Amino acid sequence: MRGRAGFRTWFRREKAVGWWRDEAGRRRRIPMGDTARSPNEVAAHPTDFVAETKVLKPALNLRRGFTLVELMIAILFLAVGVIAVTFAFGRGMFATTDAETLEQAVALTQERLENLKGTAFASIANEARAPVSGWTGFDRQVTVTQPAGTNANFKQVVVTVYWSTGGAELSTITTTYWVNN
């Protein structure tokens, strides 16, 4: 049995300065100081004996969490990802709108060609560029020519539809040929 002074001495020597794991995976203290121990102390506290006879490598950094620099880098990567996704959605919406507009323009050219089918061959003539009724932002022009080297019963009809997108004027052109039977 130890006296009061011996207990204090032992307690002081056993203050932990770090932790290590033994063969069974249990967490153990690393005692501070290299004072010699009496056989009675070694017998009373075998873990101290093991800790002093083995070469211990405590973890270098026992603190958990993130540093400010790591946090800033993570926020930077997150911001770049969010901005890239935002731009991708924007470009996708513009592409969808452009495709719908092109589809409407092609439908307007085909509509005009269908209307020309019901007219007499002699009545097919040029039409100046003019807004399409019922469709805002679309203009249509019809050009009728007789290709060189053909007879009077053959006409080339070109229907052009114009529209504006993002400050630029775009157009679609459909060409067909009419023969007088």
pLDDT in tens, the chain (181 residues): 444 554 444 444 444 445 556 677 777 665 555 444 445 555 555 554 444 444 555 555 556 777 889 999 999 999 999 999 999 887 877 777 778 888 999 999 999 989 888 888 888 889 999 999 888 889 999 999 988 887 888 899 999 999 988 788 989 999 988 888 7
The predicted structure's pLDDT at residue 53? 44
The predicted structure's pLDDT at residue 32? 52
CATH architecture of 68-179: 2-Layer Sandwich (3.30)
The predicted structure's pLDDT at residue 41? 53
The predicted structure's pLDDT at residue 153? 84
- The pTM of the full predicted model, rounded to 2 decimals, is 0.50
The SS3 assignment for 59 reads coil
Listed by start position, the domains of the chain span 4-53, 68-179
The contacts of residue 161 (CB under 8 Å, 6+ apart) are 105, 106, 108, 109, 132, 138, 139, 140, 171, 172
